[in-house]
Structures are given as structure tokens and as C-alpha cells.
Structure 1
């Protein structure tokens, strides 16, 4: 491997390393005391893919790869949400340019990284759709964790509202049902006078 290639790979790794420190914008805007970082979100999504049953209708390893790549561009462009005032087309353009830059730096695996990003964005494969469900589920799980830790029952309802009716995978719908049950129990406990 040429020295120039190693320099590019180090730059790639340093850029990706920024994800360990970039706070997720939605939580910052909701004044969460210690908001998660993008890398933490991607990590838990990756772990979630291990929980999926082996099923012939999708490739579990591809789901893992999609989970690890889906927010990679945010190491360059940041976590852009609808509240940021950036048009969806502009957000897509920025993220696409960032992924092209990352793909060039990543060397021989760059094409795969970029293709995984595009697959997730286009939402045309069973794997991309399933990982989108994992993304949504991780968001509401995280919201519930913040509600409990910060004693904010129902305080992050907007995240639950934005995902209502958007789950279809049997495991994820079961997890959502259990999460909603625990959230309801938490709200009842919190409202009981002490």
C-alpha cells in the first residue's frame, strides 16, 4: 500500500471519528441534558441487526452494513434535521457530496460505502426499509430513555408521533408495543402523588 493511500485512510478514519463527538441535533433542540452522539446511535442500530431472525427475505449482514453507514456523511455535514431550515434537496446534495468525499478517501472499500449510503437513501431494498425501521425504533427508544432519566413523562412525544404507523417488521412492532407499554407504566407511576 502506498504512503498516499495510508494518508487518505487516516484522514477517512479521523473524519469518521468525529461521529463519536457530534451530538444528535434533535436531542439538542429538545434540551436533553446529555444527548447521544451520532456514533452511539449507529452502534446500537448495528447491534439491533443481530437481534433480527435469520430470514430468507433479507440479508442480515447487509442490514448491519447499512446501519453502520447510513449516517456516515454526518461526520462532514453534521446532523441536519427538518428543524435546521435546510431544504431536503439541499440536505441530500450535501450528504451525497460528503459520501463521495469519504468514498474517495476510503480507498478500495469506498465504492461499497457509497453504494450502501445510496441504497439506504433510496429505500428500494428490503434491507434498506428494515434498517429505516431500526433507525426509527432507536430514536423512540432513546426518547423514552431520556424521558425516564430526566423525569419528563410524555416530554418527547413528537418523536413517537413522527413514527406512528411506520413499523411493519414483526420483531420491531413487538419491541414498539413493549416500549409503549413501559412508557405508559412510567407515565402512570410518575403521575401518582407521593
Structure 2
């Protein structure tokens, strides 16, 4: 791609497209034959993040951006299941991201690097909310898989729930665990 920063930006865009085909591998352990892709997970994480941000007084746009970028490194290091993390050491996400965007226009690289660093540090309200959105999306996906007949998802529900920090995320988790994923198909009749 040479030194053309637009070509470098397009290279990152093409690379991010791999996330549409890359599976969230941890679900294989639960017996899910065709788990969601990393991009599918990131999309709903961004949606949940926006909603949580509104509930918690954080910046919804910033949270959504952190959520969209939180797993982009997995094009290079894959989605390493938690069991594998006992045996493998991956490069820090901030280092992977820096390599991914090195050929982008400096303004683009700066925005993406800063967002990933903020998410990884987990110190701002936006980062806390984005991390909650990631865990809550995993919990919601587990609930959906359970409703589809996948029996062994409780460990994902329990670990995701235990990681939640914000009150709003806890309330949404309660709603996910007591709700029915397909209830929206039968809305109440208009009054």
C-alpha cells in the first residue's frame, strides 16, 4: 500500500471486514455450531453501549465508538477463548491497534488509538459503560442461545453478570434474564 494514507485507511477498513466472518469461538464450548461473528457482537455491543450511556449520564457517541473498536484486534490475534488465555499471552490490544492503523492518516490513527487506549484503561465513565455493554451483550447472547435450545450457557451468564459495574447494566441484565427474546414480535394491542 506504500505511503498513501488513504490506502492505509482502506487497508484497515478491509481488515475490519474480516470481523464479519470471524466467529466468537467461546460459544463452541457451549455447543453452538455456528456462533455469532465478532462484528455481530460488536454491533449489538455498540447499541447496548449507547443505551447504557444514556441511562448512566455518559457520552453515547463516545461509548458506541469504544464498543465498535473493542474487538477489532481480533483480526490479528483471533477471539481467544477464556480457557486458552491460561496458556497464551497475546500482545496488548493497544499494540495490535497501533500496528493496524499505522498506515492510516495520522488523525484517523490518533482517534482509533486513543479510543482503544481509553477502553483498555477502563477508567473513564465511557470506558466503564462500554465494558459493561460488552459483558451485557454476552449475557444477552447467552440468554438467546438458551432460548434456542443450547443448554450449557450458565457460565457465560454468571461471569458476564459478575463483571457488570453500573446500576443500569444490572437492571438490564435482570430484564434479559426474566424476559423472552421473541416477545417483541407480539406487541401489546394499541389502547
> Same-fold call, TM > 0.5?
yes
User: In the alignment, does 2:73 pair up with 1:76?
Assistant: no
Q: Please tell me whether the aligned partners of residues 66 and 131 of structure 1 are also in contact (alpha carbons under 8 angstroms).
A: yes
2:104 pairs with 103, 106, 111, which one?
106
Matches within 5 A, 1:44-193: 44-52=44-52, 54=54, 57-85=57-85, 90-91=89-90, 93-107=91-105, 108-149=107-148, 151-153=149-151, 155-182=152-179
Taking a change above 3 Å as real, the CA distance of residues 64 and 56 of structure 1, as seen in their structure-2 partners, is: same
Shift in Å at residue 167 of structure 1?
A: 2.7
Q: Please tell me whether the aligned partners of residues 77 and 95 of structure 1 are also in contact (alpha carbons under 8 angstroms).
A: no
Q: Distance in 2 between matches of 1:123 and 1:96?
A: 13
In the other structure, the counterpart of 2:188 is none
TM-score between the two structures when normalised by the length of structure 2:
0.82
In the other structure, the counterpart of 2:27 is 27
Q: Please tell me whether the aligned partners of residues 77 and 94 of structure 1 are also in contact (alpha carbons under 8 angstroms).
A: no
- 3-state DSSP of counterpart to 1:100: helix
* 1:116-164 deviations in Å (ceiling 9; x for gaps): 1111111111111111111111001001111111x134x2111112133
Count of residues in Structure 1 that have an aligned counterpart in Structure 2: 178
In the other structure, the counterpart of 2:185 is none
> How much is the aligned-residue C-alpha RMSD, in angstroms?
2.3
Bigger relative contact order (CA 8 A; separation at least 6): 2
Taking a change above 3 Å as real, the CA distance of residues 24 and 56 of structure 1, as seen in their structure-2 partners, is: closer
Q: Distance in 2 between matches of 1:147 and 1:41?
A: 17
| 161-170 or 129-138: bigger deviation | 161-170
Q: Please tell me whether the aligned partners of residues 123 and 129 of structure 1 are also in contact (alpha carbons under 8 angstroms).
A: yes
Q: Please tell me whether the aligned partners of residues 130 and 169 of structure 1 are also in contact (alpha carbons under 8 angstroms).
A: yes
| 41-50 or 94-103: bigger deviation | 94-103
